[in-house]
Structure 1
Amino acid sequence: MSLYDVYGIGNALVDMEFEVTNDFLQKMNVEKGLMTLVEQERQSELLENLDGKQHKRSCGGSAANTMIAVSQLGGKAFYSCKVASDETGDFYYQDLVKEGVSSNINEQREKGTTGKCMVFVTPDADRTMNTYLGITATFSESELREEEIKKAKYLYMEGYLVTGPTGKAAAIKAKEIAKANNVKTALTFSDPGVVSFFKEGFNEMIGEGVDLLFCNEAEALSYTGTETIEQASVELKKIAKTFAITLGEKGAHVFDGQETIEVLTNKVEAVDTNGAGDLFAGAFLYGITNGLSYAQSARLACSLSSQLVTQFGARLKKSQVEQIKKETL
């Protein structure tokens, strides 16, 4: 019997979110709509010149948000990541524990700087990220917990790990452990820019294929080199037994291994899309590991994500999650 629904691996970043204008992004030469890796000095420069409203910080990183979603829905999640023994690392560790996610990190951590992600949200609800990885850039096989991977139903790999050699190697190793122990594997592409720059790295991580793939429309088209979702789906079936492509306000395009399912989402006024894909993945994984069909899981994921984009921040309150779960299922 499995102890965890999902064992996740990915970056550990403290998210700092800001409401800004498009003019600010242009003035500071920030490329809109993408995740850009920056040095600590660049983050300091952006903070010094910031012209916008800051929201509360939270423990994040794409896969961390996904594991928290699994936990909030009542599932069991484990997260392997890396933070430093600084104040930001203390905050991250405590926030993760508060959200009920088990982890490899504890009170004894390496010296260094915990990674931070500046999330800029513009009036069109788009999100732009400038990320200083800090110590999470050295995430490696050392942070994996083989015995815990064996106890999970799914291994979930964050696509951003492809940007660093040790992170990519850790993902490949984790996938090998999972496969040897009949643990299913899931991967998220994470970001359109990362997909276009690191396609070969993704091919290494995918290897002979994954059981489940998450991506949005832009990532699907970028990876497959196609022009339509239908064309992309044909290509994705070659690397993934099942997949879910999020389509923003249009919902999601899901393949359950046999049939294609089109799921519509609630019509809402979006103010911030940050974290929507992460929440979708968490809700979907919770669903399929707790007796729901792919269609039911996708509807739950769309309902939660459509609520998230109506507010600022990368996650919902647990009370919101529980209420939407009750209304949807």
Structure 2
Amino acid sequence: MSRRFDIYAIGNALVDLEYAVNEDFLTQHGIEKGVMTLAEADAQATLLDALDANAPRLKQASGGSAANSIIAASAMGARSFYHCKVANDALGTLYRDDLLAAGVSTNLAEVRPEGVTGTCVVMVTPDTDRTMNTYLGITAEVSRAELDPEALQDSQWLYIEGYLCTSDSARDAVAHAHELAKQAGVKRALTFSDPAMVQYFLPQLKSLLADGVDLLFCNEDEARGFTGCDDLEEAMESLRQVADSGIITCGKSGAWAWTQTSAQILPACATTAVDTLGAGDSFAGAVLYGVSQGWTLENSARLAMQTAAEVVAQFGPRLSIERYRALRDAHQ
């Protein structure tokens, strides 16, 4: 059956503001390195003032984990819809315009609610690790009211961002989306998003899985934290109880792509990393593109690994549309 969209994604809408910092800066400001920390409005404003006084702003663009994924998938040719919430402010306008320029359909209208659009301050240290401070702003209020049931049920895949587990209204929206997807035979995919979600919001994260998903994305730390298994193979076996298939990324060690009956360890692609921001997001976007076009999970993961290798070799979470398409063409 032909569907209007390949992927319908739900996620936090955040404008990414990226800076290069040293580890001393993180220590001075009491920021835990390598994870995402939720911040209040005043704390985010204070941090931005300190960053702008000490470091150049490298990038400013629409972001959020699922948004980066859906833009990558769209650039490769997937017909995509992004469900999110931004305010009727300048950053909200930037966000909506970025989605439309990337060819992504969205629920965002020209006139939007009053409030403040969320921001994600991304601090990249010399070891290429990224540390994020996120002020959710109005995206914390994303709810089932923003759902487009017709678009969702006319999609092949529903993709859910794990960061949504921190919001009551977002969890309710995800639960409703699960029901709509099941009614229409839409496949469901989920990413754990960040080790902090597993560490601090495990019960809420588990609720996003509902009765299970068709495809799960996580890294090795998230897999171990979610399952309580130190051994990665044991963690994979546990994850098979909640997902029909999945991919566990392991950085320089490659990735494990698994189904209910098989598992493969795929080698990483050679690269020189300068910034890991967005690598996992583009990885998921490339996989979603592949599986939505009928590719095998293995072939989709190989495209994703090459894509992620190029993302970490530059500053910023995304490649150009032309580069995404070139990578797709090279793997067809």
TM superposition score category, shorter chain reference: over 0.9
Give the partner amino acid of 1:6.
I
Deviations 1:79-118 (A, max 9, x none): 0000000011010010110000000001010011000000
Deviations 1:184-210 (A, max 9, x none): 111100010111211111222212211
Aligned residues: 329
Is this contact kept in 2: 1:303–1:328, CA < 8 A?
no
Please state how far the C-alpha of 1:162 moved relative to its aligned partner: 0.4
Please state how far the C-alpha of 1:214 moved relative to its aligned partner: 0.5
**1:148 maps onto 2:151 in alignment:** yes
Counterparts of 1:247-258 in structure 2, within 5 Å, are 247-258=250-261
In 2, Cα distance between equivalents of 1:100 and 1:130: 28
**In the alignment, what sits opposite 1:224?**
227
Please state how far the C-alpha of 1:320 moved relative to its aligned partner: 1.4
In 1, Cα distance between equivalents of 2:266 and 2:4: 30
In 1, Cα distance between equivalents of 2:59 and 2:82: 22
Query: What secondary structure does 1:89 align onto?
Result: helix
**In the alignment, what sits opposite 2:6?**
5
Counterparts of 1:181-196 in structure 2, within 5 Å, are 181-196=184-199
In 2, Cα distance between equivalents of 1:321 and 1:67: 12
In 1, Cα distance between equivalents of 2:5 and 2:264: 27
Deviations 1:222-248 (A, max 9, x none): 000011210100100000000111111
Structure 2, unpaired ranges of 5+: none
**1:272 maps onto 2:285 in alignment:** no
In 2, Cα distance between equivalents of 1:277 and 1:32: 18
Please state how far the C-alpha of 1:259 moved relative to its aligned partner: 1.3
**1:178 maps onto 2:178 in alignment:** no
Please state how far the C-alpha of 1:328 moved relative to its aligned partner: 2.9
Which of the residues 238, 258, 267 maps onto 1:235?
238
Structure 1 outlier segments of 4+, above 3 Å: none
**1:244 maps onto 2:234 in alignment:** no
Give the partner amino acid of 1:46.
L
Is this contact kept in 1: 2:197–2:205, CA < 8 A?
no
**In the alignment, what sits opposite 1:137?**
140
**1:25 maps onto 2:29 in alignment:** no
Deviations 1:5-30 (A, max 9, x none): 11000100000000110111111111
**1:284 maps onto 2:287 in alignment:** yes
**In the alignment, what sits opposite 1:207?**
210
In 2, Cα distance between equivalents of 1:181 and 1:87: 37
Is this contact kept in 2: 1:120–1:128, CA < 8 A?
yes
**In the alignment, what sits opposite 1:64?**
67
Give the partner amino acid of 2:133.
N
In 1, Cα distance between equivalents of 2:209 and 2:185: 16
Which of the residues 261, 265, 288 maps onto 2:264?
261
Q: TM-score normalized by structure 2?
A: 0.97
Deviations 1:140-194 (A, max 9, x none): 1101111111111010000011001001111111011101111011110001011
Is this contact kept in 2: 1:17–1:56, CA < 8 A?
yes
In 1, Cα distance between equivalents of 2:206 and 2:67: 23
**In the alignment, what sits opposite 1:47?**
48
**In the alignment, what sits opposite 1:198?**
201
Please state how far the C-alpha of 1:55 moved relative to its aligned partner: 1.3
Is this contact kept in 1: 2:287–2:304, CA < 8 A?
yes
Counterparts of 1:115-130 in structure 2, within 5 Å, are 115-130=118-133
Query: What secondary structure does 1:272 align onto?
Result: coil
**1:84 maps onto 2:87 in alignment:** yes
In 2, Cα distance between equivalents of 1:203 and 1:312: 32
Deviations 1:220-279 (A, max 9, x none): 000000112101001000000001111111211011332112111212111111111110
Give the partner amino acid of 2:12.
N
In 2, Cα distance between equivalents of 1:261 and 1:216: 15
**In the alignment, what sits opposite 2:97?**
94
**In the alignment, what sits opposite 1:158?**
161
Give the partner amino acid of 1:13.
L
Give the partner amino acid of 2:161.
E
Is this contact kept in 1: 2:246–2:258, CA < 8 A?
yes
